[in-house]
Homo-oligomer: A and B are copies of this chain.
């Protein structure tokens, strides 16, 4: 149901279905939050933000929505060490740079035309389904 909210104009229009996943109101709001707040929020970050628009939503539902979105390849789940999982809607293959001083997480793209097989001695016959590259360090002003 896409009845427009009279009070708040929807900033981002989200379709009723994405890649075969029915976009319920809750999933829409979770997804919208990720699209608007692109700093890799945790499930709890998303929860607090979505509550403004859906005061009755539960944290469990946010987890459910995030999982459904991840399963359908609509968003990505990113893990740093043993911290809470973070989520991002950037689907292009990319890594993450975690600035230790500010805590900010930067997306890091691959240089065009490079493949991991150029860089790593993969075991023979390895077919890669998923790659996770995490860098930790500092940003030094030159």
| Residues on A facing B (Cβ under 8 Å) | 79, 81-82, 85, 95, 97, 100, 106, 108-111, 114, 116, 118-142
Q: How far is the CA of A132 from the CA of B141 in the complex (A)?
A: 24
Within the complex, which residue of B82, B108, B120, B124 is in contact with A123, where a contact is CB–CB below 8 Å? B108
Q: How far is the CA of A142 from the CA of B125 in the complex (A)?
A: 6
Copies, count? 2
Q: Is the CB of A116 within 8 A of B142?
A: no
Q: Is the CB of B125 within 8 A of A121?
A: no
Chain B min CB distance to A84 (Å): 9
Q: Is the CB of B123 within 8 A of A106?
A: yes
Chain B min CB distance to A121 (Å): 5
What are 25 sample pairs from A and B whose C-beta atoms fall under 8 A apart?
Answer: A79-B79, A79-B81, A79-B82, A82-B85, A97-B128, A108-B120, A108-B121, A110-B119, A111-B119, A111-B120, A111-B121, A119-B119, A120-B135, A124-B142, A125-B139, A125-B142, A126-B138, A126-B140, A127-B137, A128-B135, A128-B136, A128-B137, A130-B135, A130-B136, A133-B133
